[in-house]
Structure 1
Amino acid sequence: MLRRKITTFLEQWRANKHQECLLIKGARQVGKSYAVERFGERAYQHFIKIDFILEPGLREVFEGSIDADSIFRRISLIKEDARFVPGETLLFLDEIQECPLARTALKYLALDDRIDVIASGSLLGIEFKEEQTSIPVGYERQVEMHPLDFEEFLWARGYDAQTLDGLREYAVDLAQVPNVVHEHMMGLLREYLAVGGMPDVVQQFVDSQSFAVAHEVQRAILASYEDDIARYATASERVKARACYRSLPRQLAKENTKFQYSVVEKRASARKFEGSVDWLEGARMVLRCRALSTAAFPLKSYEQNDRFRLYANDTGLLMGMHDFTMMAPVVNNTLKGPMKGGLYENLVACMLSARDYPLRFWRNDRGDREIEFLLDGADTTVVPIEVKAGRGSTVSLNEFLDRDDVHVGYKFLDGNVGRVGKKVSLPLYLLPFVNLCTLPPAMTAEERRAD
């Protein structure tokens, strides 16, 4: 059974909520249903689940009057073991995008507040063919669920929280990781790079210790994603969305990983394909990293919608888009060429997204300086992040760190911990353990001593 961070969030939500339903959003097969089911069965006396894909007839429960008593009565007539006990019943509405009326009903279930209600949906960011009903603004708390991050992957591999707290200390203190530990952790990171964080892939890999098995499950998930495109995209977008999605390996194998429509189709234009990219982003199948016209706080003010990069929502699925022969070079660290850089860039994008950091990059007008990721920092600063899969130069980061509005910059690489002035170098496996928007505690303590 995989341990997920969202379980802690669910426990806190239950303890603190007031007239509020919870909506869990996320891509298909990231573990939303499994997490809620385990939580509901463990934390409540009564757990009721409605899956609007497996039980399409239950959409009728939300037709007509949608006050809480009417909904409870209809569910009780269909599910004879359903019990609605105040404070001890969890109602789980899975795949709620299939029943817009149920989404509207969340307001009235929240106002009633006798039972807890959690909904989940995989395709809530796309426009459906039918007209959407009203959204329960003010009565619905939303949370995004992602594939397993690297820390969760380590839990699945048998590492406990105490062990990982010891790893976190190296990032806090900016202390060198013992070489034997560093090499072992880099091996695990490359394993995660190859397997990814889709729960079914991780579980089957842990059980079988077979990258071939993991690759088969990755391919099965990719096939289900393409089935979703065929089912939910409009007729005019299906072929184009599939073509954009399948172009990801080629987009990331370029020296410049900016998304180019000409890679999807020769002489293609944004006018033809931009709606398809929007659809993929709305379905959470891809992560969009927007270009910045100016690298200044607040970064959102300088986003450019027409220049961006696209990453797979999971590095394992990006691996699944390649032949199985890609696995060994990644795991053994013998992969070379631009694809290695693109793969590690995708990894960092997933790691940042899992922590809900917006994805943005900056490239100067001449095109000879680039920062892979930029974050808003504390006190109107910006935080540059550079990703190095090998021993490449850091000219762009070094020049960027000369700015007064930059107090710290990060270089994530396969090497050990280091620091030169404002530049902090960290192994890629430490990224989940660092608060990137503030100065590392070791640097803060140093400033206090200087004062």
Structure 2
Amino acid sequence: MPYISRHIDQELLAWRAEKQGKPLLLRGARQVGKSTAIRHLARQFTHFLEINFEEQRQVHKVFEGDLDPLELCETLSVLYNTPIVPGKTLLFFDEIQACIPAISSLRFFYEKYPELHVIAAGSLLEFALAEIPSFGVGRIRSIFVYPLSFNEYLTAVGESGLVTHKAKASPGNPLTDVIHQKLITHFKRFLVLGGMPEVVATYVESNDLIRCSRVLDDLVTSLRTDFARYKNHVPFLRITEVFDSIIQQSGGKFIYSKAAISSTYKQIKEAVDLLTMGGLVIAVTHSASNGIPLGAEVNDKSKKLLLLDTGIFQRLLQLNIGELFLETDFDVINKGAIAEQYVGLELLKAASCYRQESLFYWRREAKSSNAEVDYVTQKSGQIIPIEVKSGKKGSMQSMHLFLQEKKSPYGVRFSLENYSTYNNIVVIPLYAAGDWYSS
């Protein structure tokens, strides 16, 4: 399979150039490309030692005693017959969540052996980190990894020119209709494929959507199998039931009472929290949006829940992918609020990889009128409302109400339209959601 270039590659190279630095910890859901990116980075080193703590159980004993990094490296070098030399060796701890002492050792590498490049990754890592209250504060640098963004997908399929071209576009400088339509075609395909690296690599190699669908089915099976790993926290069947309800309730406020008939609110919330910690589910939390930071006025009981990838989402919903490609009707394309999910994911991917970004939405429930804005975000010190709409016909009453109440300078509508503006509403094509947020 070809290697799919990632934006984090540049961050990893910058870290590699540091003569002394903090150990890196790549965090994210399973199968999003953490280990692959690290192995790609390893080409920059003379020596590479990869230790998988799930596969190589015997190495756990090395971390049962003192965690002095020099002694650990001496033992590991002999055990794996690989030189560990500062500046020349990349030491990679994979699936590090399986060995809690190995996680604890990272802070000592920074304190006593900062000239050695040490990097770690793991899935379900957040569960392990929750058991270490003062984990590496100020001593370990985290990078948060998600599935591929739309721009990364375009680069992978050989359309880097489109990435450059649309980055220069704006409401005052819209794209030509030919380029706009070509990007919409790629956007629809990306909704179907999603950004899981194995799926995109399969498409690059084979150009076969049926084969990609099988890969997606394999990923779905793998992710569901992972629920068994949560059984120490929540019963497997409850996790499965809540996960299925999240898929069915997509696009609206998550109603806990609908998620698991025989479970209490507390039990359902626990399952949702675990799925969120595992990276499968991403919460969009209600914010009163009266000021910055948006997280200061949230209602934790009022959430919408996204899945980590649109490709996996459409397979779980069993959407008709033929309709997605052939229809120009936004409502058909947006079945299950898949376009709304795409926008939320693109906002996360466009944010800094060094912090775990949160997503917010705004909702007003009143007897006289209900109003909801799909997303609310902070940009250049301002609160900006975002709606995902079909076009000029899409009602913007909630957006206008928000702008009036919160005194925001403008709102953003993501749609299938070309770049444009309507009074104080900026219209951005869906395929440029990440460009807008990172600009």
Report the equivalent of 1:393. Answer: 395
**Structure 2 residue 409 is the aligned partner of structure 1 residue 411:** no
Q: Residues of 2 paired with 1:45 and 1:75: CA distance?
A: 17
After TM superposition, the structure 1 = structure 2 runs for residues 360-375 of structure 1, keeping only pairs within 5 Å, are 360-366=360-366, 368-375=370-377
Name the SS for the 1:136 alignment partner.
Answer: coil
**Structure 2 residue 291 is the aligned partner of structure 1 residue 292:** no
Name the SS for the 1:386 alignment partner.
Answer: strand
Distance 1:88 1:421, change over 3 A: same
Q: Residues of 2 paired with 1:404 and 1:318: CA distance?
A: 33
Q: Residues of 2 paired with 1:76 and 1:133: CA distance?
A: 30
Report the equivalent of 1:340. Answer: 335
Deviation readout 1:268-298 (Å, 9 max, x if unpaired): 5422300000000000011100012344332
Report the equivalent of 2:38. Answer: 36
What is the CA-CA distance between 1:12 and the residue it aligns to? 1.4
Name the SS for the 2:127 alignment partner.
Answer: coil
What is the CA-CA distance between 1:431 and the residue it aligns to? 1.1
Distance 1:15 1:135, change over 3 A: same
What is the CA-CA distance between 1:335 and the residue it aligns to? 7.3
Percent pairwise identity: 29
Distance 1:69 1:345, change over 3 A: same
- Identify the match of residue 323 of structure 2 among 300, 314, 329: 329
TM-score (norm 1): 0.89
Report the equivalent of 2:15. Answer: 13
Distance 1:163 1:272, change over 3 A: closer
Report the equivalent of 2:354. Answer: none
What is the CA-CA distance between 1:187 and the residue it aligns to? 0.8
What is the CA-CA distance between 1:234 and the residue it aligns to? 1.9
Distance 1:3 1:64, change over 3 A: same
After TM superposition, the structure 1 = structure 2 runs for residues 272-291 of structure 1, keeping only pairs within 5 Å, are 272-291=267-286
Indicate if the aligned counterparts of 2:193 and 2:212 stay in contact, CA closer than 8 A.
yes
Q: Residues of 1 paired with 2:35 and 2:293: CA distance?
A: 36
Distance 1:313 1:426, change over 3 A: same
Indicate if the aligned counterparts of 2:97 and 2:128 stay in contact, CA closer than 8 A.
no
Report the equivalent of 2:168. Answer: 169
Deviation readout 1:396-421 (Å, 9 max, x if unpaired): 11232335631121100011111123
Q: Structure 2 counterpart of 1:393, which letter? A: S
- Identify the match of residue 353 of structure 1 among 348, 355, 360: 348
Q: Residues of 2 paired with 1:339 and 1:244: CA distance?
A: 23
Deviation readout 1:13-46 (Å, 9 max, x if unpaired): 2224734101010000000000000111x21111
Deviation readout 1:186-219 (Å, 9 max, x if unpaired): 1100100000000001111222222221111111
Q: Residues of 2 paired with 1:51 and 1:127: CA distance?
A: 16
Q: Structure 2 counterpart of 1:330, which letter? A: L
Q: Residues of 2 paired with 1:244 and 1:90: CA distance?
A: 40
Q: Residues of 2 paired with 1:295 and 1:258: CA distance?
A: 20
Q: Residues of 2 paired with 1:281 and 1:233: CA distance?
A: 15
Q: Residues of 2 paired with 1:293 and 1:331: CA distance?
A: 37
- Identify the match of residue 296 of structure 2 among 295, 301, 315: 301
Q: Residues of 2 paired with 1:425 and 1:19: CA distance?
A: 42
Q: Structure 1 counterpart of 2:326, which letter? A: N
Report the equivalent of 1:87. Answer: 87
| Structure 1 unaligned regions, length at least 5 | 441-451
Q: Residues of 2 paired with 1:279 and 1:304: CA distance?
A: 19
Q: Residues of 2 paired with 1:258 and 1:21: CA distance?
A: 39
Deviation readout 1:362-407 (Å, 9 max, x if unpaired): 111226211110012334x311111114542111112323356311
The CA RMSD measured in Å over matched residues stands at 2.2
Indicate if the aligned counterparts of 1:401 and 1:423 stay in contact, CA closer than 8 A.
no
Q: Residues of 1 paired with 2:172 and 2:288: CA distance?
A: 33
What is the CA-CA distance between 1:229 and the residue it aligns to? 1.1
Q: Structure 2 counterpart of 1:281, which letter? A: T
**Structure 2 residue 174 is the aligned partner of structure 1 residue 183:** no
Q: Structure 2 counterpart of 1:340, which letter? A: K
TM-score (norm 2): 0.91
After TM superposition, the structure 1 = structure 2 runs for residues 22-171 of structure 1, keeping only pairs within 5 Å, are 22-40=24-42, 42-80=43-81, 82-111=82-111, 112-126=113-127, 132=132, 135-160=135-160, 162-171=161-170
- Identify the match of residue 195 of structure 2 among 194, 197, 200: 197
Distance 1:260 1:403, change over 3 A: closer
What is the CA-CA distance between 1:352 and the residue it aligns to? 1.1
Indicate if the aligned counterparts of 2:100 and 2:128 stay in contact, CA closer than 8 A.
no
Q: Which moved more, 1:197-206 or 1:398-407?
A: 398-407
Report the equivalent of 2:205. Answer: 207
Indicate if the aligned counterparts of 2:24 and 2:142 stay in contact, CA closer than 8 A.
yes
Indicate if the aligned counterparts of 1:344 and 1:389 stay in contact, CA closer than 8 A.
no
Distance 1:223 1:335, change over 3 A: farther
Report the equivalent of 2:384. Answer: 383
Q: Structure 1 counterpart of 2:389, which letter? A: K
**Structure 2 residue 246 is the aligned partner of structure 1 residue 245:** no
Distance 1:133 1:248, change over 3 A: closer
Distance 1:163 1:365, change over 3 A: closer
Distance 1:337 1:203, change over 3 A: closer
